[in-house]
């Protein structure tokens, strides 16, 4: 699996791990997507065309490879008709290209905006951080003022610093009258980071990095997996969460967690990387091949893709299938497939995200 380590907060391109978001942006341009679509209102010197949507909007109910593949697969007939009317070719992106493009689309949806110091100052007061860490703190004279904190260069550093003191802070709140644990949103965490930077006379953060998710798996299994199973599994709990929503959730959950769930800032980064990747990629092999077999027959794929002698289902191509290869197949060879289907009176089958996932699992049994 290829890895893109840097995540740029001041742009919309966020490096994830299922592909390379930066390359995905180039693929979108190279394949002519921006001839009709825009990204956050920007295109190739044109206004947004209708009905082509802006690609930074929500394209799927849940951003996973299967859900995005479903959207693009179902969009093929409209693209086929529109490009045919213009005499243009369908995109000829490879499976790897689609993998990168999916990562770019995902990053557009979930990139966090840069924090604002003024908002952070208000959160610092409203969340009662200032009662201990402000210049006029009285609740605990031992608490370190925000200006004297270790330099905060990005939100992961701030989250780690807060996390290492979570147990002490929780006990202190109990001593001063059972003050409720102050919960944070992702925006709060970003803004508090900007505020801490302003107090420390640091420039605003422009980038940060997370390691490859595989590096966080061991730490997660050692420290978190005992509880996060079944209904509490991350792929069930997380619903299109950004990396900072996951970080804020970690802080909000701190009073209910054993101390020392992360022992270093490096480990904190690895855990965030792994947890974020899990909700995007999901667990491998979750498709149901039996249900995929039914989809293959119900959607009339078997009309063309069957053995001439036995009538048994036949794979449309050699090699393993993924959500990316399904889009590459439908769009790359889609014009010929669509023409043949129209000649036989067969409608292009629409596939839900679940059907897409099951169909991939079934097709991989035919290899």
Specify which residues 39 forms β-bridges with.
42
Residue written as token pair 């908002």: 119
Determine if the pTM surpasses 0.85.
no
Where do the structural domains in the chain lie, given as residue ranges? 1-113+283-367, 115-204+210-282
CA dihedral of residues 134, 137, 140, 144 (deg, nearest 10): 30
| Of 196, 7, 194, nearest in space to 110 by CA | 7
Cα separation, 333 vs 327, in Å, equals 10
pLDDT (tens place) for every residue of the chain, 367 residues total: 333 323 332 232 333 345 677 788 889 888 888 888 888 777 655 565 556 788 888 788 777 888 889 999 998 888 888 877 877 777 788 899 998 888 888 877 766 667 889 999 999 999 988 888 887 655 455 678 888 888 888 888 888 888 888 877 766 665 545 567 889 998 999 899 999 999 988 876 545 566 777 788 888 888 888 888 888 887 778 877 777 888 898 889 888 776 555 678 888 888 888 887 777 766 555 689 999 999 999 998 998 889 888 889 998 888 889 999 999 888 876 667 878 888 888 889 999 999 999 999 999 999 6
pLDDT of 49 reads 56
Contact 239, 62 (CB under 8 A): yes
Structure-token pair, residue 202: 């640091």
């Amino acid at each position: 699996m290829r890895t893109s380590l840097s995540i740029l907060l001041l742009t919309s391109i966020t490096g994830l791990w299922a592909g390379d978001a930066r390359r995905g942006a180039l693929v979108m341009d190279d394949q002519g997507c921006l001839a009709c679509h825009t990204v956050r209102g920007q295109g190739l010197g044109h206004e947004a065309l209708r009905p082509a949507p802006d690609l930074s909007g929500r394209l799927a109910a849940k951003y996973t490879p299967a859900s995005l593949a479903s959207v693009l697969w179902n969009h093929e007939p409209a693209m086929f008709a529109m490009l045919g009317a213009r005499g243009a070719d369908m995109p000829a992106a490879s499976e790897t290209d689609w993998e990168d493009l999916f990562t770019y689309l995902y990053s557009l949806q979930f990139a966090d905006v840069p924090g604002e110091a003024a908002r952070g100052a208000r959160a610092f007061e409203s969340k009662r951080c200032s009662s201990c860490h402000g210049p006029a703190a009285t609740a605990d004279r031992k608490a370190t003022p925000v200006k004297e904190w270790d330099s905060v260069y990005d939100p992961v550093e701030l989250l780690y610093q807060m996390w290492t003191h979570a147990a002490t802070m929780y006990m202190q709140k109990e001593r001063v009258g059972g003050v409720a644990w102050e919960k944070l949103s992702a925006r709060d965490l970003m803004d508090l980071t900007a505020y801490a930077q302003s107090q420390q006379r640091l420039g605003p953060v422009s980038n940060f990095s997370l390691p490859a998710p595989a590096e966080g798996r061991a730490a997660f299994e050692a420290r978190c997996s005992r509880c996060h199973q079944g209904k509490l599994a991350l792929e069930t709990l997380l619903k299109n969460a950004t990396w900072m929503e996951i970080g804020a959730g970690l802080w909000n959950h701190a009073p209910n967690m054993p101390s020392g769930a992360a022992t270093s800032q490096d480990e904190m980064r690895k855990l965030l990387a792994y947890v974020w990747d899990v909700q995007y990629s999901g667990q491998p092999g979750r498709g149901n091949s039996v249900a995929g077999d039914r989809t293959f027959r119900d959607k009339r794929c078997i009309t063309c893709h069957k053995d001439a002698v036995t009538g048994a289902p036949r794979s449309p191509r050699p090699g393993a299938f993924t959500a990316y290869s399904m889009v590459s197949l439908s769009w790359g060879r889609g014009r010929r497939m669509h023409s043949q289907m129209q000649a036989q009176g067969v409608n292009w089958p629409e596939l839900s995200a679940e059907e897409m996932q099951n169909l991939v699992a079934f097709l991989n049994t035919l290899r």
